[in-house]
A and B are shown apart, each in its own frame.
Chain A
Amino acid sequence: NAGVTQTPKFQVLKTGQSMTLQCAQDMNHEYMSWYRQDPGMGLRLIHYSVGAGITDQGEVPNGYNVSRSTTEDFPLRLLSAAPSQTSVYFCASSYRGMAEAFFGQGTRLTVV
């Protein structure tokens, strides 16, 4: 099994551009989340989903959109990239809401 797969691994965007970070899991997990990791700040929750068709905001949702049309996929969209969105983005999934999370390898995004 591949687990949680994120693409791309690296991306450079210009301010104002939009893009979608892809996340797919093959473990049939209902729960999926997006986090960003900035130096010295740990991981902060952007958006999460408890199942297909259900999403909600986390701690830092501004500037990001998500949708969950299938159990497997949970893409994160940056609407108009800003330098403040330069970060490492992690997608995670879990089979229950109160269980361990499995993380992807991350997408390192730089906005110039």
Chain B
Amino acid sequence: SQQGEEDPQALSIQEGENATMNCSYKTSINNLQWYRQNSGRGLVHLILIRSNEREKHSGRLRVTLDTSKKSSSLLITASRAADTASYFCATGSSSNTGKLIFGQGTTLQVKP
């Protein structure tokens, strides 16, 4: 399997704190994406970072990518109870097929 790994598997924080999730992958990539999944729902795209980028921001989200270490991190600042969800990283290859390889996800609980 080419699945990546995410850590931690579960994270519980208080509202207002920052949450950091890490993702490692195995093969060379064209891009890395982060998705959120609320319980029982579909996945929602959060942010995409290309292999030639090192950092990207979107609102309260900050993503970093280190291709030499084959790793990425997602930082959610000033978390809210509504951020409670599972977060997945997914890698896109250079093959231009639309295929994504997903990590196993991090379950985030933000306590009010």
A residues within 8 Å of B by Cβ?
Answer: 4, 30-33, 35, 40-45, 48, 50, 56, 58-59, 90, 92-94, 96-106
* Cβ contacts B14-37/A at 8 Å (1 or 0 each): 000000000000000011010100
Closest to A54 in B: B97
* Interfacial chain B residues near A105, Cβ < 8 Å: 41-42
Query: Is B78 close to A, CB under 8 A?
Result: no
B residues within 8 Å of A by Cβ?
Answer: 1-3, 30-31, 33, 35, 41-45, 48, 88, 90, 92, 94-105
With A and B bound together, what is the CA distance between A42 and B104 in angstroms?
4
Q: Which has the most chain A C-beta neighbours within 10 Å: B92, B94, B100, B105?
A: B100
Closest to A43 in B: B102
CB<8 Å pairs between A and B, sample of 17: A42-B102, A42-B103, A42-B104, A44-B1, A48-B97, A50-B96, A50-B97, A90-B43, A92-B43, A92-B98, A96-B96, A98-B31, A98-B92, A98-B94, A100-B33, A103-B42, A105-B41
Taking a contact as CB atoms under 8 Å apart, the answer to whether B42 and A33 are in contact is no
Q: Could you say which of B3, B41, B94, B98 contacts A94, with CB atoms under 8 Å apart? A: B98
Once A42-B102, A43-B102 are accepted as A-B contacts, the answer to whether A97 and B45 lie under 8 Å apart by CB is no
Once A42-B3, A44-B102 are accepted as A-B contacts, the answer to whether A102 and B45 lie under 8 Å apart by CB is yes
* Interfacial chain B residues near A93, Cβ < 8 Å: 98
